[in-house]
Amino acid sequence: MSFLAIDVGNTRLKWAQYASPQPGAALIAHGAVFLETIDHLADTDWKGIAPPSSMLGCVVAGEGVKRRVEEQLELWDDLEPRWAVSTREACGVSNGYDHPNRLGVDRWVAMIGARQRVLAQGGPRPALVVMVGTAVTVDALDASGHFIGGLILPGFGLMLRALEMGTAGLKAPTGEAVDFPTNTSDALMSGGADALAGAVERMYRKLRRRCGAEPALLMSGGAAVKLAPITELPFETVDTLIFDGLLALQARRLAL
């Protein structure tokens, strides 16, 4: 009854195989590849793993990329590809977006994973879910699991490229985030980091004020390591938020 969870972002495909399709299941195998190389998954990363009984994926990279992944999944004849979609409610999380189906599915699934984690760690409380990748999202859940809104910002790479394209003389090597930058490389990196950290800290204060309780701050995504040292708030880095959400969604589907 092994389960394959797939997260297809804007830059990389991440996958994880679990012993069963339920929250807390043992992790059997996992990996990540850049989208440019997904056409070789059946002959490389997936060739040596046991055939999964079911799969559920989360894809934001577009229909073309999704079709390429499905071609690789043909490695297992009996496996039916299934893909998560944003809905009005699922797994104890309600969707407050003006048009629920237009909420990015990666954000939706990550919030479901975050909700499961918060409940497992001591019961209901507000949560701020930060995903740091090509773009950065900062999404707020109240203590009842209602998504009340969130931010979308450019990630580190997009910020730096925008500055390089829009200004003269700012094509500097990648620097470090420091308190008082004294060179252009560090100034660029520190400016981007402080902009993102400021957005997170501002949303955190808004959520705390609205809910009257300290939110759990959960950070995930490939570039979370760059933002983690910057914010002064207590936080937990959880690399598996989307996988946790996919496990919860699959368990819910099988229980219906």
Q: CA 65 to CA 48: how far, in whole Å?
A: 23
**DSSP assignment of 38-50:** GGGGGGTTTTTSP
Interatomic CA distance for residues 212 and 76, integer angstroms: 50
Task: For helices 156-166 and 184-211, give the axis angle rounded to 10 degrees.
Answer: 130
- Positions marked active-site: 106
* Distance set, CA 43 to CA 15, 71, 84, 152, 229 (Å): 15, 12, 25, 36, 38
Which residue is it, tokens 């400016």? 191
